[in-house]
Structure 1
Amino acid sequence: MHKIITALVFISLFTQCKDEPAAATAAAPGARTGIDSLKVQDDVVTLTTVQAANAGIATGTPSKREMHTALQVSGVVDVPPQNIVSISVPLGGYVKRTTLLPGSRINKGAILATLEDQQYIQLQQDYLTAKSRLQYAEADFNRQQGLNETKAVSDKVYQQARSEFESQKILLRSLGEKLRLIGINPESLNENNISRSIYLYAPISGYVSKVNVNTGKYVSPTDVLFELISPDDLHLSLTVFENNAVNLSIGQKVTCYTNSHPEVKYQATVRLITPAVNEERAAEVHCHLDEHVKGLMPGMFMNASIELNNAQVMAVPEEAVVKWNSQYYVFSAEGSNRYKLFPVETGVSAAGFTEIRSTLPADRAVVVKNAYTLLMKMKNSAEE
């Protein structure tokens, strides 16, 4: 927008200077100007001293700068496997209550759903019965041990009592672990608080991405009831084709942006490169964002630029390069306020400079400021 405004101001200044001698604004004899002249090698635009001063033309020489080669790729926002949790119930049951919807925010430890089934009652009954039998077996073992020491009972009777005691301890321990699987604390269980219901609790804080159940539905241990995602550790999963994957390395810097807000740039770092290519002849590259970013969601499409290396290249300020009909140009200073248009091949752009891969005229300065003003002058000349 700044370049267009500058060009419009400059055209206005040319209109005010029409009374100056025509010889001062004419191109060299035989030179062609305007839109057609952009297609030939000797495109030259000439300004008067007043025009050059009003246009703010500035010249400079190309310089060598350390710039990186960038690889343009695309991918999606992703989260590591430990940040995605599928919720199932170890024992089947009926969903008594759930209020979750996809997108709901939940905190760690929150109740996701309430389930009920008669097998929960049976498991609690078995545990309390085994606990009572263990107490009897322990008392009998202690009694038989004392009698055996005085040889009042045989070794066989003592060994049977010890075996029963050990078996009951194993049974009670296993039933207790089954209770913990469904969220019941066996240490606090007694005959007065047996329940037919169990609760599913959130193991992480995050968002609900999937809800696969409804009230009254029977679920089995293999069913996934909910899927939770924690967005605290977002990363990028980029797709890089095999011919470019060989240039990647751990630690390379990445600049990424979304299609909806391309002006907002996010910084990331390459952390993992999959050492294989898929059926599409591409490798997967995992990048970690340098800082926590709000507004990004898993699955969101991203464009990215990977900095491959640093090299000394010839570069000019970005304002020195103009574009016309899909071709890039620079203006060289020919002296006496005369400027010649040269087609160039550009490379990467960074920190306000653009790489020039073409050979520029030797010992000549180039226009580094308001080059688009000269281009508009040539277009304006063609229209007059």
Structure 2
Amino acid sequence: MDYPIIFIPGLFGSLGDDVIKGTGNFSFGLAERVYRPFIEILNSMGYEEGINLFISYYDWKKPVLEATEKYLSPTIEKVKRKTGMSKVILIGHSLGGLLARSYIEYFSPSSVDKLIMIGTPNLGSIDAYYFWSGGKLPYPKVEENLLYNGLKIAFIIYYHLFLKINYIEVLRDKFPVTKDLLPSYGYGNYLLYKKGETKKEIPIEDMTISNSFLNGMEKNPISRDNLFIISGKGVYTNQKFIVDKNNKEKIKWADGKPNNVYKTTYGDGTVTTVSTLGNLCKNNITLEGNHIDILYKSKDYLSHILCKDINEKIERQEVEKIYVIFGHNCRKINVRTPNLNEVSSESINITDSRVQAVNLSFNRFWIMAAGNKNLEIDLDIEPIKRVKPQIYMAIIDKEGAKFEFNPLKNKI
């Protein structure tokens, strides 16, 4: 039976009013560059958006089960009604795979013909410990893929600058999904400490924090017959932390503050290969590539699973440099590349395909420009009356991220 596909993007892959007020209806937002090439791969197999291909956007800040109930479950029911089919095929990337897995586990397994998970942290990720326990996310290089790196950094800047979300209690309240991404018991011990000249493990069961969501799913494994997993390898990925057990606070770093990390090349830069595979099934493949590249490299395996030929070659532009720009108290911003791109509350006129923009409010804009290493941009700012405009910029390349606050103060 030729069932319709529902694609579920990962963390930061949905944008709309539920994620950031004022951004309108759900879409990929500035993650369009990340996910559109993958949608085009499905298009090349004969899947057409709105006909037999659908996208389940969601508020990725919410706990997985809450997001599954509020967003994915209704989407599946709508697709079944629209297509007249009794089942759907779910493809989830990263966090999206956990939503799909939780739907089968807790909602309606009979509604799913196949589940395909790509880069999903089925056993969790230790990077979530860094955020949940310490309220921190390393800025310079949090992703190997520059587009995804730029996207993450942009959201971090937005919540830090405009919503003033700095305190760990507020971070945990606003991003409860992070707790669902902590390593599960199945991951094993991931914190070590020095005792004399030796290193000892802290038993995961004895830690003050735990992932009740993943631990619960591990007790009731889903059917493996129609489950397919795509993982990545070849990119250095955080595997274990060495912590200072004496550097504890009442709320932060209750199990110790990381001061070093063990990395493995059996991972995609975000999730270890072992975590993605999760001992869930034999229907799996491990591809060389980072967390985003394995999406595109999975095309032949997807073609095999879906029994669909790929009818055209999808070309993907390499990205070597990204500008992330937030403008505040601006009536209008002209983004000058070789072309002139105008961003204002009245209209957004983009003439360079390398530039994307979102109007966050009547005087606040989010702009991303992505291109090769020679990409250079300049800005002309029109302020609102006599209020001084503020510009926040991050320039990201393979060396990391450079942050500039009000970099155009001498040009305004």
Relative to the length of structure 2, the TM-score reads: 0.16
Relative to the length of structure 1, the TM-score reads: 0.17
Higher-strand-fraction structure = 1
Which entry has the higher C-alpha Rg, 1 or 2? 1
